[in-house]
Amino acid sequence: MKKKISLNYGCALKKVVGKEGISKKELQKFSSTFKKGLFSLSQKRTKKIIGFADLPYEKKLCEKIIKKAQQLRGHYDCMVVLGIGGSALGTSAGLEAIKGSFFNHKPGGEREGWLKVIVADNISPDFISEIFDLIPFERTCFSVITKSGTTSETISTFAHALNLAKRRFGGDWKRRFVFITDPEKGFLRELARKEKVESFEIPPNVGGRYSVLTPVGLFPLACAGVNIRKLLEGAASFDRVCFEKNLFKNPAGIFASIHYLLYKKGKRINVFMPYVEKLKTLSDWFAQLWAESLGKQKNTYGKDIFIGPTPVKAKGVTDQHSQLQLYTEGPFDKVITFITCQKFENDIKIPEIGKFEFSKKSFFKLLKAEEIGTMFSLLKAGRPFLEISLPRVDEFYIGQIIFMLEVATALWGEFANLNAFNQPGVEFGKIIAKKILVNDRKVLGNLKKLKLKEYSV
């Protein structure tokens, strides 16, 4: 029987951390709220209003994705993912976690022929230029990802890639592109039908930030040689656990409940701090999941609530030297979530050098000593924290942590009576950007408010 990730929450309790924590009694009392939230979430799942929790069981789709990835292997050396936000962050997180920080720097032989995956998730002109200057265009294919099929940034970068491909390859451009978009509507879907470009579907009931286990994340990851069967297997193994009705047997429930209760006590900042270099990009993915899902002006009844916990990305041990001082002696407005690993693939012994106390020890022991030292410093300062511990970093356990954090985020939304699956604040900004580009007079007039020259120095 395989192990599973664990959530250690003792250091968020008053009896351990002191008055800034929560009591076991508070948690027990909150159990009824948890059950209502879990029931509501389960109902949404049953009615197919939300679909992220059922993604681990799409086995036929998984095999179709693997088949396509194997076809591309050998024909191409590089894949560029054109996407942004939820269409990109899950891929980046999964790629670095499973393939390591320097996968794209390895020669083809060491990658066993699998593709380098470059995620073009911004439209900064220099960034786009550098990517297209860097890639071997003859040996590059593109995964174009937008659920709506109309995302400004993605369609713009796609237009650039398409223009270059048509110039160089003529009508042969089509086989170098795979579209991942809505099954029915949107510009990209229409183009896929018209030009007969191969495509995968994003389920309409799965939002971008919950879509890493759809083709959005699975296809690029499979092209890099990630075992996506194992990734989905890990997520599926945590389904029953994360929908368990007993709060004290449900890690997603405990995570959401403690964060919600601490939020109510003024701890509005959630520091997400992996002590594994390969998991640093998981922080980017989690930051979007947490912020975009839970930062809301209105609740489900239309009442203004202006609510939302703020995610902060940190990395052990690096940020012991840049942020820990603030966490231990600054305001009591934070709760830390550590991500730790029990076993690493590699370890190195530290050679003897002078009277250095870690001589002849291993880097693993040094990392663990620093990790525990950070935890004790927070404990001594009375700062609550939780720890998500992975037996090791591989596809199975990454699947588990993705599933757990998605369910926990959705549950927090249920507790606060908000919609954790929309993003009206983001959509407004997109609308304004489009109006600026078409020279909307009203919007251009209002832009003067942003450029008050008398207040410039």
Closest CA to 198 of 167, 161, 173: 173
| Domain 52-232: top CATH class | alpha beta
SS3 431: helix
The confidence score (pLDDT) of residue 436 equals 81
Domain layout of the chain by residue ranges: 6-45+238-272+281-335+363-415, 52-232, 424-455
- The region, left, alpha or beta by phi > 0 then psi within -120 to 50, assigned to residue 439 is left
- CATH fold label, 6-45+238-272+281-335+363-415: Rossmann fold (3.40.50)
| CATH fold match for the domains 6-45+238-272+281-335+363-415 and 52-232 | yes
What was the pLDDT predicted at 20?
A: 97
Neighbouring-strand partners of residue 224: none
What number of other Cβ atoms are within 10 A of residue 307's Cβ?
17
- Decide if 160 is catalytic: no
Indicate which residue of 15, 321, 355, 449 is catalytic.
321
Burial class for 169, CB neighbours closer than 10 Å (0-12, 13-18, 19+) = middle
At residue 1, the pLDDT reads: 60
- Per residue of the chain (457 residues), what is the pLDDT tens digit? 678 999 999 999 999 999 999 999 999 999 999 999 999 999 999 999 999 999 999 999 999 999 999 999 989 999 999 999 999 999 999 999 999 999 999 998 999 999 999 999 999 999 999 999 999 999 999 999 999 988 899 999 999 999 999 999 999 999 999 999 999 999 999 999 999 999 999 999 999 999 999 999 999 999 999 999 999 999 999 999 999 999 999 999 999 999 999 999 999 999 999 999 999 999 999 999 999 999 999 999 999 999 999 999 999 999 999 999 999 999 999 999 999 999 999 999 988 887 777 778 899 999 999 999 999 999 999 999 999 999 999 999 999 999 999 999 999 999 999 999 999 888 777 788 888 888 887 877 777 777 666 777 7
Q: Are 34 and 411 in contact (CB under 8 A)?
A: yes
- Of 80, 79, 81, 84, the C-alpha closest to 153 is 84
pLDDT of residue 452: 65
Residue 296 annotated to the active site: no
380 annotated active-site? no
The catalytic position among 292, 371, 395, 414 is 292
Instruction: Write down the catalytic residue from 64, 174, 430, 435.
Output: 430
Cα separation of the two ends of the chain? 65
